[in-house]
Each structure stands twice: as C-alpha cells, then as structure tokens.
Amino acid sequence: MKIISSKSIRKLFSVICCLVFLTLAVKAEEIQVGGVTRHFLVHAPANLPAKRPLIISMHGFNQDAAYQKAQAKWEQVADTAGFAVVFPDGINKRWDISGSTDLDFILSIIDNMAARYKIDRNRVYLSGFSMGGMMTYFAANRISDKIAAFAPISGYPLRGQNTDSARPVPIIHTHGTTDDVVSYSGVEVCMNAWRIRNGCSETPIITNPYPASNPNSIASKTYWNAGENGVAMALLTLKGKGHWISNDVVNGVHTSEEIWKFCKNYSLPTSSKR
C-alpha cells in the first residue's frame, strides 16, 4: 500500500480549499419569471457602492451561465472598474429570440439587481455570445428603453436584419473572420443596417492593427461616430479567430475589456430614464 506523505496531504487539502472557495465565490441566484424558476450567476465586487453599472452577459446555444462566466472573464474588469455582472441561464440552454420569455427574464434581473445592489438602471449593458449575441440584437429592438448599450459577440440575426429599436442604440460587435458557426460574411450587412438606423457616419474610422500600439495584434477596429444622440458603433474584427470569445491580449484584445471601454460611455437618454 502506497503511503501518502504529509506534504502531499497538505497540498491536496489546499487544492480542495481553493475549489471550495471558488465554488462559494460564484453565487447562484434564482428568481420567478412568469411562473418559472430562472437561474443566474452574479459577480459583484466587495462593498460595491450604489449607482454602479450592470453588465448582463449571455451564453451561447447549448452552453450555460458557468461556461459563459469562464469564457468572458469579466471579474477583473468588473473589480477594477467597480460594476456588477450577471450571467443568466437560458431555458434548455437557449434563448427565446422571437418572443418575450427572455426579455422578461432580463428585465427581472435588472429589477433584482436594483433592489439588492442598487445598480444604476440608466447604465445597464447587454452582451451575449453566439445565440446570446442574437438575443442581444433582439433585445436592442424590444427593450432599448432599459438597456444603454449592446455588445454582441459572434452572433447576429440569421433571418435578416430588424432595426426597429425605439431609439438609436450604441453597439460594439466582436467577430472572428474564420467563424464557422456564425459566418463573418454576414457581419457587414448587420452593421450597415444598424449604422443607417443610428444615423452614424457612412465613412468609418479604421484602426488596423488594433490597438495601434500593438503591431502584433490580429484585431482591427472599425468605428462609426456622429450618430443620433451621440450614438456610435464599433466592430472588432479578429483575423483568423473562430467561434469563441477572444481574450488574447498579447496578439489581440480582451473582448470584455473592449466592451467595457465602449459601453461605459453611455447611459439611457433622459426620455428613456425610469
């Protein structure tokens, strides 16, 4: 029989403690929405002051909140800047991109976070990956009076572009050029439709590579400004990247950092404030 040394036991104990700590640090929440119990994860910095922003980050098809949390890596960005992040779980690991089920869920999350963390309702930002990105665009058309800016990643409507938002909406879209799930070839049509709806400049400002300070970056940024009510739009193109969230700060960008840099400039206009 192999005898385990005391050193190995201490090491194993430390690993177990770390796993327990990480599990406890991710606080699972649940709320009732339309008679259904819905689940989500919350990351909020310790002693978060009142009136701070909220990011809602949605997972892709056949994924879940825990997976999205691990991929998006919002924690350090949120802790540094001081805002809360919610990772919702879709029913059956998908989103309702044609009805009100998940719109109601998003609105309930905002109410819940306002009650518990006193987040700033005028600085709520919505992001999502893949099908979560499709849900982000759907929400832009339906609840733009509740969301200040939108940040889809690797996802856009596949059945044509609907730009019926109640107001011009800031959008930052991130997409890899070799995405084999939601093709990059459809991004231009999507962004152009929203550029027209938002009244943004037809001629964008292009930074390639982006950031300009990193000549090794595979990212480029296309930026449209001069939109209605000060609205701008941005597209981060990741050359050679596939269907995933890029956090390669050496050769590209940290997607969540870029989303925060863009979204933090926006709050709901006076006419939309609750």
- Does residue 178 lie in a domain region? yes
Report which DSSP code applies to 167: S
Q: What is the mean pLDDT of residues 183-208?
A: 98
**For the chain, how many residues are written?**
274
- Does residue 8 lie in a domain region? no
- Partnered with residue 125 across adjacent β-strands are 55, 149
Report which DSSP code applies to 4: P
Q: What is the mean pLDDT of residues 123-141?
A: 98
State the total domains in the chain: 1
Can you give the pLDDT at residue 209?
Answer: 97
- Cα 70 to chain centroid, rounded: 13
Q: How many percent of the chain have pLDDT more than 70?
A: 88
The enclosing domain of 129 has a CATH number of: 3.40.50.1820
Q: Containing domain of residue 129, as a range?
A: 24-269
Q: 154, 175 in Cβ contact below 8 A?
A: yes
Does residue 166 surpass a pLDDT of 60?
Answer: yes
Does residue 26 surpass a pLDDT of 80?
Answer: no
The pLDDT mean for the chain works out to 91
CA distances (Å), 22 to each of 17, 66, 76, 82, 201, in order? 9, 12, 15, 20, 46
Nearest-angstrom CA–CA distance, 69 and 74? 7
Task: Answer with the residue of higher pLDDT: 18 or 221.
Answer: 221
Q: What is the mean pLDDT of residues 56-68?
A: 98
CA distances (Å), 81 to each of 75, 117, 182, in order? 10, 16, 31
Q: Given pLDDT bands bounded at 50, 70 and 90, which one contains residue 211? A: very high
- Does residue 13 lie in a domain region? no
Lay out the sheet containing 233-238: strands in order across.
27-33, 36-43, 84-88, 54-58, 124-129, 149-153, 171-176, 233-238, 219-224, 205-207
- Does residue 7 lie in a domain region? no
CB neighbour burial string for 254-269, b if at least 16 within 10 angstroms, e if fewer: bbbbbbbebbbebbbb
Can you give the pLDDT at residue 249?
Answer: 87
- Does residue 18 lie in a domain region? no
- Does residue 127 lie in a domain region? yes
Does residue 253 surpass a pLDDT of 90?
Answer: yes
- Does residue 2 lie in a domain region? no
- Does residue 228 lie in a domain region? yes
